[in-house]
Amino acid sequence: MDLLFKVFLKCLLKGLYFNGITSMRVVIIKYNAGNIQSVLYALERIGIQAIVTDDHELICSADKVIFPGVGEASTAMRYLEERNLDTLIRDLKQPVLGICLGMQLMCRSSEENDTECLGIFGTEVKKFAPSAVQVAGGLKVPQIGWNTIYDLRTDLFKGINDQSYCYFVHGYYAALGEHTIATTDYVHPYSSGLHKANFYGVQFHPEKSAAVGERILTNFCQGIDG
């Protein structure tokens, strides 16, 4: 039944796409990591009908790919590897947006259970250190809630003002580096946005970040060239 459904879905989508009914083919990668439905609903609010799939052919044929995630790094990487999604993601040529755990998995490695990640960004994901938390005044880890983004670069943040608020939920962070396109302060400055070639990532949740998040998703889907 699952195979028949996939065949039906492929035929349906190809019919819609190639007959011009759907102008933008956006795929959300389906895997065992959380916030997929909220991303789907956020896209619907800005007029984009995305599909959620782990089918390699559908992912590769999409105009834009979104790689969301909430969860634990090593479990998510193992799931991707078992389905060869890790290799697929690395080889994608169209614009790809990683969200939260999705962005972290696009980095070189994570201190969360000493996990080797996809290695798209040459950045290490580190745990907020308890000693640093204490020095910063006892901030709670994980960070949960609204915080600002600044030093914004690339068209992903077109129309977004420095110090705009976005919604965060995370206990690990990507260090600042050559691929940083947005910065946030919590305990210390870290990368809340990354970019390399056709790959983009944000640590916050645009699907939960009100008008700012909607603008960022719109920029990715409509303003980032493939």
In this prediction, residue 5 carries a pLDDT of 54
- At 5, which helix (H) or strand (E)? helix 2-18
Identified catalytic residue from 112, 117, 207, 221: 207
Please check the confidence at residue 183 and state whether its pLDDT lies above 80.
yes
> Quick one: how far is CA 220 from the chain centroid?
11
Map residue 101 onto helix, strand or coil.
Answer: helix
* Domain count across the chain: 1
Please check the confidence at residue 20 and state whether its pLDDT lies above 50.
no
In this prediction, residue 97 carries a pLDDT of 98
Instruction: Return the closest-CA partner of residue 180 out of 198, 201, 155.
Output: 201
Residue pair 97/66 in contact (Cβ under 8 Å)? The answer is: yes
- For residue 148, give its domain range: 2-223
- At 126, which helix (H) or strand (E)? strand 121-127
In this prediction, residue 208 carries a pLDDT of 96
Identified catalytic residue from 100, 107, 117, 221: 100
Does the predicted TM-score (pTM) go above 0.85?
A: yes
Both structure tokens of 164:
């705009």
Out of 12-16, 122-126, 194-198, pick the least confident: 12-16
205 belongs to the catalytic site? yes
56 belongs to the catalytic site? no
Residue pair 10/53 in contact (Cβ under 8 Å)? The answer is: no
CA distance 200 to 223: 13
DSSP annotation of 150 reads B
CA distance 214 to 144: 20
Please check the confidence at residue 58 and state whether its pLDDT lies above 70.
yes
116 belongs to the catalytic site? no
Map residue 79 onto helix, strand or coil.
Answer: helix
CA distance 119 to 217: 24
Identified catalytic residue from 170, 179, 195, 205: 205
Residue 165's domain is classified under what CATH number? 3.40.50.880
